Amino acid sequence: MPLLTTPFAELDLIRQPEQANDPLQAFDAADHYLLEHLHAQGLAADTRVLVLNDSFGALAASLAGRVHVVSSGDSHLARMALEKNLARNGQAFDSVPFVPASEQWQGPFDRVLVRVPKTLALLEEQLIRLQGHLAPGAQVIAAAMIKHLPRAAGDLMDKYLGPVQASLAQKKARLLTATLAERAAAHSPYPSHYRLDSPALELVNHANVFCREGLDIGTRAFLPHLPTGLGDARVADLGCGNGVLAIACAMANPEADFTLVDESYMAVQSAQENWRAAFAERPVTVLPGDGLAGLEKQSLDVVLCNPPFHQQQVVGDFLAWRMFQQAREALVVGGALYIVGNRHLGYHSKLARLFRGVEQVAATPKFVILKARK
């Protein structure tokens, strides 16, 4: 794979999760453009830089040891990528502090470098949180590939920071630079809430949670077909989002033990709050993670999963396939994976390659609910 070569460093970077012969690289022209632009400014060694949404650590690893840099974002995989890429390039894995999006960073910062996220609600929340954390004369510079840069991103920067100047395009990338101006103190519209009738729940959803404004249609199809009669089974909700699948299943299985995992820190935060609201002191494990990779083999009886079909802007079934493999490793013999998926994705045949038996539990015109037994 090519190296990321800028005036700051020459780096050998990998993506997370790793896959053999990955055709995609861990940086793009927007990373390169932003680093070249930053170097041209002649930053002093004591400059404090906050990097937001750095998917694989390209920006933070390039700046490590050159300025005081802090990285923050909502992806546990991005944190893993940063740590691995720092170590891969001769730096201590913890040489750049990482602040999960569910926590607050501590300024003041002289520069804020933003990779524009797919979910603009996350960008809005981050811009609001910058209030009180910017040094006098600070610059906020956002970068994206033009095809992934909506006009609304610049509008949000203008609304919360000040006038925005767009750069010329370079290798299909663009920078947006905000000049700080007086803006009224803003109050975050996040988290959002919505209610379900069956089961009767009000769900909290922090800014980057999938389908933040209402239940997604795949989960809606899944809910009536969650397993019951599980006794004291050990159950995991893999890619838990706001936790609705686990909470609904736990209501029907009061003795079962639940673990909820998501790579989004805001999803984990939402799921923790929703579980507490539903069950008060009932024990649960909710954690950020690379799927079930951190769990012991044969430690689960049941896995629930509404698998994603994209990572940032990249669409494909790699993450789903990996989740199925992780579920198989974590399940006991005789344990079961329950999933919902779009009919056209052909999950039945994929699961049949990994599991002893696969049956269709239910179907709608758009979705199938499958049970795969190990």
**Three-state helix/strand/coil letters over the chain:** CCCEECCCCEECCCCCCCCCCCCCCCCCHHHHHHHHHHHHCCCCCCCEEEEECCCCCHHHHHHECCEEEEEEECEHHHHHHHHHHHHHCCCCCCCCCEEECCCCCCCCEEEEEEECCCCHHHHHHHHHHCCCCEEEEEEEEEEEEHHHCCHHHHHHHHHHCCCEEECCCECCEEEEEEECCCCCCCCCCCCEEEEECCCCEEEEECCCCCCCCCCCHHHHHHHHHCCCCCCCCEEEEECCCCCHHHHHHHHHCCCCEEEEEECEHHHHHHHHHHHHHHHCCCCCEEEECCCCCCCCCCCEEEEEECCCCEECCEECCHHHHHHHHHHHHHEEEEEEEEEEEEHHHCHHHHHHCCCCEEEEEEECCCEEEEEEEC
Question: What is the pLDDT of the chain when averaged over all its residues?
Answer: 94
C-beta of residue 338 within 8 angstroms of C-beta of residue 302: yes
Per-residue pLDDT band at 309 (split at 50, 70, 90): low
> In the prediction, which pLDDT does 295 show?
92
pLDDT digits (tens, 9 = 90+) for 147-197: 999 999 999 999 999 999 999 999 999 999 999 998 889 999 999 999 999
Residue 198 confidence (pLDDT) above 90: no
Mean pLDDT of 17-38: 90
Percentage of the chain modeled with pLDDT above 90? 86
> In the prediction, which pLDDT does 294 show?
85
Mean pLDDT of 31-35: 97
> In the prediction, which pLDDT does 296 show?
93
> In the prediction, which pLDDT does 144 show?
97
The full set of domains in the chain, from first to last, is 4-179 (3.40.50.150), 192-373 (3.40.50.150)
pLDDT digits (tens, 9 = 90+) for 242-274: 999 999 999 999 999 999 999 999 999 999 999
Q: What is the pTM of this model?
A: 0.94
How far lies 124's CA from each of 62, 129, 155, 296, 370, in Å?
26, 9, 10, 38, 37
Task: Answer positive or negative: Cα dihedral of 93, 95, 97, 98.
Answer: negative
Per-residue pLDDT band at 314 (split at 50, 70, 90): very low
pLDDT digits (tens, 9 = 90+) for 326-359: 999 999 999 999 999 988 888 898 899 999 999 9
> In the prediction, which pLDDT does 315 show?
46
Per-residue pLDDT band at 107 (split at 50, 70, 90): confident
Per-residue pLDDT band at 23 (split at 50, 70, 90): confident
